[in-house]
Amino acid sequence: MDPFLLKKITRDTKSQLEEFALYLSENKNERRSYVSVVKTINVFRDLICTAEWVTGRELIKIVKCYCKYLPLSQSNETDVSNVVRRILKIIREESVGPEATNSADGISAFFKTDIKPCNLGRSDLQDNILNSIVELLAELDTSKSNIVNMALEHIHSNERILTYGHSNTIRDFLLYGRKARDFEVIVCESGPSLKGHKMAAELSEGGIKTTVIADSAAFAIIHAVNKVIIGTHTIMADGALRATNGVHQVAMAAKFFSVPVIVCAPLYKLSPTHLCSYDPDAFNKVIGPEKMLNFSNANLHSKVLISNPDFDYVPSDLIELFITNTGGHAPSYLYRIISELYHPEDYDLDNMCVEDVEDEMAT
Amino acid sequence: MIGPSHLHNHSEAVVSTQSTGNFIKHTKVQVAKISPDLTESVAKEELQQSCDNFFRENIYLAGKSITEKAVERVVDGDTILIYKKSQLILHILLEAKARNKNFRVMVVDSRPDLSGVQSCERLTAAGIPCSYVYINSCTYVMKKVTKVMLAADALLANGYVLGPVGTALIGLISSTYNKPVIVCCETYKFSERVQTDSILYNELADPDSMLKTLNEEDTPVSNWRDCPNTRLVNLVYDTTPPALVSIVITEIAELPCTSAPVVLRRGAVKM
């Protein structure tokens, strides 16, 4: 851990921070993003309360130092990174003070890179920040129900909806729609993990007529489907998706037959990063091939290069609509939401602001 | 005396894919042509001879001719994408390797039958470097591919290619990434049927085979027969629109998909 950070925190906090970093590096594939997001907020809330700081700028430096310690550069951690960016935005807003945020020139205030020293002492500033964090938690709490309640606006009776793999948000979305409408769902099984089977079991328990098909049959049946409703792991800054492997070709098939593709995702999945490369290190994650080909077939494993990427890049022109907790948005509108949610200086969490770099160079 | 109507009852029991359909038509014509004053054993021998001829000309020699044409299209440094297992495509690749061409193969496979594994085995046995992915990852690997070679089960009169389910997806992804799609198809597979979608005329395989996992575990829908709301659908074929296919290689010529009715009119299937 950075020596600067260690100077500012107590021993209890240090062990808590280490525990959280360990939590992030374990169980990546099974972790639910909502649970990790809430955990993140609690950990950072404790950090804000117990660390030594006087001004907002110092606090931001502490938070960013801790972020360098966390394994946030892995492609799985975008939900955690996004919540940290939200917290940093809260700190910046509270530090600048109410007059700047309430001014008519509010938009330009978002692009100011310096943080004016504010008249509030630490305790007042801390109270304001913690109140805003409580509001953030409330927003996250209601994010899923906000999305789910829009189901009746997007599903009508006797429709056939195609979905891919497993998503808790989509499952609840469709089950809510079932309360008032009668429709069918076709689920792609999403090999090799076969998460689609779990989705089909849950949907049919909820009373929805479900059909399970193999991923290869997506093109064959998509012309008979009214809409495609999918969830995603991350929404990129231009409206593209980092979704489960196999979603891109379903979206391409939908475009071929002009079937609308609707993505339901809460805004903490919206990340201000763009795709720079398709490589596993930068965007994708390649997991073990044991679900594709048994290791007992060792002869083949040793001679054949087997790839099992976990994610898929879906370009934004294939997507019709995003349903988020703040309502429905076209992919072209997301840039605006990003400018409201996050501060430009926090897009790259490793980035230190200019004054801090000068300070470091001076010492 | 056995006539064409007897054959009809038996042919109903045979799986009625178009390729088998053409052969049955051919045999019925042969049966009708047999002169009534031949003895039964001689007639049977003649029929057997005509079946062997059909096999030899339309399947065996046609396969060799297609291989000759297709091997010309494999160049050094190629990465060729193939889908599942096809005798004809494997034959083409093994022949290309025998002619010392330097290329890689990307084998795309899909559940539930996973026949691509056998393709991998045959190719690695011949020393061809292979990669293996499921069809979900097709977009992930498509950038590195230089050409796509697919086999067809039938070529319909409106130019649609009937192939194992998943062929259409591969055709779509390949044409989006501008990779040439080469379909290899013998002329006995050409059909007079027309079809614009994959559902109107298809086959359903055993739905329980979708429940098979590699480690013999149960999936959450293993008890699907007890749930009134759950259905498993295991399609066998799908149709690829002609816009997604670059070229069809047959034993008589290399054609675009839309030339299928021309071949049918020429009576390519020798009766």
- State the average pLDDT over residues A5-29: 79
The answer, yes or no, to whether ipTM is higher than 0.85 is yes
Q: Which A-chain residues 333-362 have CB contacts (< 8 A) with chain B?
A: none
A252-281 burial, b at 16+ Cβ within 10 Å, e below that, comes to bbbbbeebebbbbbbbbbbbbbeeeeeebe
Q: Which whole-number Å values give the CA distances from B101 to A352, B71, B104, B118, B119, in the listed order?
A: 54, 9, 10, 22, 18
Identify the burial level of B22 via C-beta atoms within 10 angstroms of its C-beta, where 0-12 means exposed, 13-18 middle and 19 or more buried: buried
Q: Looking at the complex, report in whole angstroms how far the Cα of residue A290 sits from the nearest Cα belonging to chain B.
A: 8
Q: What is the pLDDT of residue A207?
A: 93
Q: Which of A253, A306, A309 lies closest to B132 in CB terms?
A: A306
Q: Which residue has the higher pLDDT, A282 or B172?
A: B172
User: Does A67 score more than 90 pLDDT?
Assistant: no
Cα of B240 to nearest chain A Cα, Å? 9
Tell me which residue has tokens 């948005």.
A329
- CB atoms under 10 Å from CB of B32, counted, come to 10
Across A25-34, A292-301, B187-196, the highest mean pLDDT is recorded for: B187-196
Give just the sign of the alpha carbon dihedral B87, B88, B93, B97: positive
Q: Are strands B78-83 and B103-109 parallel, antiparallel or unpaired?
A: parallel
pTM (2 d.p.): 0.88
| pLDDT for A346 | 85
Residue type at position A297: N
Q: How far apart are CA B194 and CA B157, in angstroms?
A: 5
A152 residue type, one letter: L
Residue type, A311: F
Mean pLDDT, chain B, rounded, equals 87
Please check the confidence at residue B143 and state whether its pLDDT lies above 70. Answer: yes
Q: Is B124 on the interface with A (CB under 8 A)?
A: yes
In A112-213, the DSSP E strands lie at 160-164, 184-188, 209-213
Omega of the bond leading into B256 within 30 degrees of 0 (cis): no
Lowest mean pLDDT among A353-357, B49-53, B257-261: A353-357
Residue B271 has pLDDT above 50, yes or no: no
Q: Is the CB of residue A249 less than 8 Å away from at least one CB of chain B?
A: yes
Q: In Å, how far are A75, B139, B142 from B177, measured between CA atoms?
A: 25, 9, 7
Distances (CA, A) of A95 to A119, A129, A135: 9, 9, 17
Q: Nearest C-alpha of chain A: how many angstroms from B99?
A: 22
* pLDDT tens per residue, range B15-26: 445 555 777 888
Which pLDDT value is given to residue A359?
A: 63
Residue A105: its pLDDT value, please? Answer: 47
Spell out which residues of chain B touch residue A204, defining contact as CB-CB under 8 Å. 227, 229-230
What six digits make up the tokens of A246?
A: 């196999």
Q: Looking at mean pLDDT, say which of A35-39, A80-84, A183-187 comes out highest.
A: A183-187
CB contact under 8 A, A306 and B213: no
Percent of chain B with pLDDT over 70: 91
Rounded to an integer, what distance in angstroms lies between the CA atom of residue B54 and that of residue B65?
A: 15
Q: Which of A190, A203, A223 sits opposite B197 (nearest CB)?
A: A223
Question: Which residues of chain B lie closer than 8 angstroms to A307, CB-CB?
Answer: 131-133, 137, 140-141
Pull the structure tokens for residue B180. 């040439």
In chain B, whose CA is at the least distance from the CA of A305?
Answer: B131
Q: Do A217 and B165 touch (CB under 8 A)?
A: yes
Which of the residue ranges A211-225, A242-256, A349-363, B197-211 would you say has the lowest mean pLDDT? A349-363
Residue A338 has pLDDT above 50, yes or no: yes
Secondary structure of residue A268 in the 3-state scheme: helix
Mean pLDDT of chain A: 85
Best to test chain B binding among A171, A189, A193, A219 (most B CBs inside 10 Å): A219
pLDDT band at A68 (very low <50, low <70, confident <90, very high): confident
Residue B171 to residues B49, B100, B147, B242, Cα–Cα distance (Å): 39, 28, 11, 9
Mean pLDDT on A140-168: 93
In this complex, which of A190, A204, A220 lies closest to B168 when CB atoms are compared? A220
- pLDDT-based confidence at residue A183 (cuts at 50, 70, 90): very high
Reported as a pLDDT band with limits 50, 70 and 90, residue B183 is very high
Please report the pLDDT score of residue B40 as a whole number.
84
Cβ of residue B117 closer than 8 Å to a chain A Cβ: yes
- What amino acid is encoded at A34 in this protein? Y
* A300-327 per-position pLDDT tens digit: 888 899 999 989 999 999 999 999 999 9
Task: Note the pLDDT of residue A290.
Answer: 84
Categorize the per-residue pLDDT at A20 as very low, low, confident or very high, splitting at 50, 70 and 90: confident
Residue B128 DSSP label: -
Q: Inspect the interface and report whether the beta carbons of B168 and A303 lie closer than 8 Å.
A: no
**Where is average pLDDT lowest: A34-43, A114-123, B158-167?**
A114-123
Confidence of residue A99 (pLDDT cuts 50, 70, 90): low
Decide if A349 contacts A84 (C-beta within 8 A): yes
B201 to chain A: nearest residue by CA?
Answer: A220
CB contact under 8 A, B130 and A304: yes
Please state, for a pLDDT cut of 90, what percent of chain A lies above it.
Answer: 50
Of B117, B166, B213, the CB nearest to A300: B117
Q: Does A160 touch chain B (CB under 8 A)?
A: no
Report whether pLDDT(B35) > 90. no
What pLDDT, on a 0 to 100 scale, did the predictor assign at position A220? 93
B207 cis-preceded (ω within 30 degrees of 0): no
pLDDT at residue number B6:
62
Per-residue confidence (pLDDT) for residue A119, from 0 to 100: 67
Nearest to B145 by CA among B96, B94, B181: B181
Q: What is the mean pLDDT of residues B200-225?
A: 87
B161 token code pair? 């290619």
Which residues in chain A are closer than 8 Å to B168, comparing Cβ atoms? 219-220
Number of DSSP helices (H) and strands (E) in chain A, helices first: 16, 11
Span A257-292, pLDDT tens digits: 999 999 999 999 999 988 877 776 678 888 888 888
At residue B241, does pLDDT exceed 60?
Answer: yes
Per-residue pLDDT at A197: 93
Instruction: Say if A200 is an interface residue toward chain B (CB within 8 Å).
Output: yes
In 3-state terms chain B splits into helix, strand, coil percentages (rounded to 5) of 45, 20, 35
Angle at which helix A56-69 crosses helix A78-96, to 10 degrees, equals: 170
Residue B79's identity, in one-letter code, is T
Say yes or no: B213 contacts chain A, CB-CB below 8 A. Answer: yes
CA–CA distance, A115 with A346 (Å, rounded to integer): 13
Asked if B197 has any chain A CB less than 8 Å from its own CB, the reply is yes
Cβ separation of A249 and B110 shorter than 8 Å? no
Interface of B with A in 141-160 (CB under 8 A): 141, 143
Overall average pLDDT of the B195-203 stretch? 87
**Residue from B131, B136, B237 whose CB has the most chain A CBs within 10 Å, to mutate:** B136
Least confident residue range of A214-218, A345-349, B73-77, B251-255:
A345-349
- Is B111 part of the contact surface with chain A (CB cutoff 8 Å)? yes
